[in-house]
């Protein structure tokens, strides 16, 4: 089989890239190692930046998002038993975010691909990327018990940290930057209406908590827990009790709504960047090149920025004979990546209490939060980053 662009991975990055290329008249084949059911049910990000929303609409795959997604014009910061709302549009010239889960984005893109797009092969495990330095790279993969080769003009690795794309870049050319955090997030889904109509980010002496949602009837919430925690070690009532403590404020009108917990898991926290994001005709996108702690809601949105950058660059090359944007793909993406890493790190260290935190550290955190909530300049910086950096 031969195509212009071989895409490894049918997460939101790979699927959206396939749609963008289709809109530009460029052929592609998508290989996904998992089955369709797995891709459509795995829980990941839930916040779409303004730019991501705009891209999905412009690509023609935003109709259900606009019907069922929940636009958010603000977030709430809680600390020292106080509440402060960050008005996103007022600080950013009208930009906001959308609550629409990554699972739903994938469902929309899969349905779109299967009904009107090119090949999408599930349970097709990429084994290796070969010939990245040549004009004809290829992907060896296994599908339906047989090995096969996908011949391409370009390969885009959207296959995550553990995929084969990143490892196809020689070690001698690679630079990696990483920070791990001594805590994770215990996340839950619960069949209960959200207790607040916007996301709540809470810093307390007991640790961080986040109150979010998946729909008007489903709550998504998180607790900071020690690294290596097993989700099953937490009973349901313990989780609700701890959320109550960490979200507590001097407001008698607010109450945490409790309900049946339907899922719980622990997400480790790390920051990671691989440079470069291009080697020959192999391009990395999304988690294959960078990982951010989820505090800044940047992971999915960074992946969208990567594939938008690649699609524009390839179209410019094929339509106008201009290879410049392909040549600067890595540098262009990394500028945005490092800004997202900066913001995610700042949010994480401002809101999470480290295991060895001192009284001085606690006061610095409170001072940073006080600055954000009393300085329009500082609050604007947060709002601009939260709603998204330009593609």
Q: Which residues are catalytic?
A: 72, 201, 294, 298, 386
CA distance linking residue 244 with residue 255, whole number of Å: 8
For the chain, helix, strand, coil in percent to 5 are 40, 30, 30
* Tokens found for residue 360: 């001085």
CA distances from 326 to 176, 264, 281 (A): 22, 41, 9
CA distance linking residue 218 with residue 52, whole number of Å: 23
Helix (H) or strand (E) holding 347: helix 329-351
In sequence order, the 6+-apart residues with CB closer than 8 A to the CB of 195 are 211, 219, 254, 255, 256, 257
Q: At what angle do helices 329-351 and 376-387 cross, to 10 degrees?
A: 130
Asked if residue 28 lies in contact with residue 8, where contact means CB atoms within 8 angstroms, the answer is no
In this structure, how many other beta carbons lie within 10 angstroms of the beta carbon of residue 359? 7
The end-to-end CA distance of the chain, in Å, is: 32
At residue 274, the 3 state secondary structure works out as strand
- Please state the separation of Cα 48 from the chain's center in Å: 9
Sheet order of strands, 28-31 included: 120-121, 28-31, 5-8, 154-157, 282-284, 278-279
Q: Please identify which residue in the block is written with the tokens 């939260």.
A: 386
100 phi and psi angles, rounded to 5 deg: -160, 115
Asked if residue 138 lies in contact with residue 131, where contact means CB atoms within 8 angstroms, the answer is yes
Asked if residue 82 lies in contact with residue 250, where contact means CB atoms within 8 angstroms, the answer is yes
- Using a 10 angstrom Cβ sphere, with 0-12 exposed, 13-18 middle and 19 or more buried, the burial of residue 235 is exposed
């Amino acid at each position: 089989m031969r195509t212009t662009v071989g895409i490894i991975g049918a997460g939101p990055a790979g699927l959206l890239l396939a749609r963008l290329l289709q809109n530009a008249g460029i052929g592609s084949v998508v290989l996904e190692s998992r089955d369709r059911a797995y891709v459509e049910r795995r829980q990941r990000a839930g916040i779409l930046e303004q730019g991501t929303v705009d891209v999905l609409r412009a690509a023609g795959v935003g109709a259900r998002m606009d019907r069922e997604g929940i636009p958010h014009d603000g977030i709430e910061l809680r600390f020292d038993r106080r509440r402060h709302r960050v008005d996103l549009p007022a600080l950013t010239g009208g930009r906001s975010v959308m609550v629409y889960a990554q699972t739903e984005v994938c469902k929309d893109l899969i349905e779109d691909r299967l009904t009107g797009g090119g090949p999408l092969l599930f349970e097709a495990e990429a084994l290796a990327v070969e010939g990245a330095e040549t004009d004809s790279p290829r992907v060896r993969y296994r599908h339906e018990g047989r090995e096969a080769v996908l011949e391409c003009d370009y390969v885009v690795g959207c296959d995550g940290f553990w995929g084969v794309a990143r490892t196809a870049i020689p070690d001698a050319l690679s630079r990696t930057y990483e920070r791990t955090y001594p805590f994770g997030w215990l996340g839950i889904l619960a069949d209960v209406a959200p207790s607040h109509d916007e996301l709540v980010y809470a810093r307390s002496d007991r640790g961080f908590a986040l109150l979010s949602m998946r729909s008007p009837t489903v709550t998504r919430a998180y607790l900071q827990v020690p690294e290596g925690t097993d989700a099953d070690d937490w009973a349901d009532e313990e989780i609700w009790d701890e959320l109550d403590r960490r979200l507590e404020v001097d407001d008698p009108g607010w109450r945490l709504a409790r309900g049946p917990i339907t899922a719980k898991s622990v997400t480790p926290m790390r920051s990671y960047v691989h440079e470069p994001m291009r080697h020959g005709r192999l391009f990395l996108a999304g988690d294959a090149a960078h990982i951010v702690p989820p505090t800044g809601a940047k992971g999915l949105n960074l992946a969208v920025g990567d594939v938008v950058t690649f699609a524009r660059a390839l179209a410019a090359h094929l339509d106008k004979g201009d290879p410049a944007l392909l040549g600067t793909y890595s540098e262009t993406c990394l500028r945005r990546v490092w800004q997202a890493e900066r913001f995610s790190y700042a949010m994480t260290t401002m809101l999470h209490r480290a295991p060895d935190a001192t009284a001085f550290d606690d006061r610095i955190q409170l001072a940073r939060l006080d600055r954000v909530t009393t300085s329009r300049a500082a609050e604007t910086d947060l709002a601009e980053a939260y709603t998204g950096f330009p593609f």
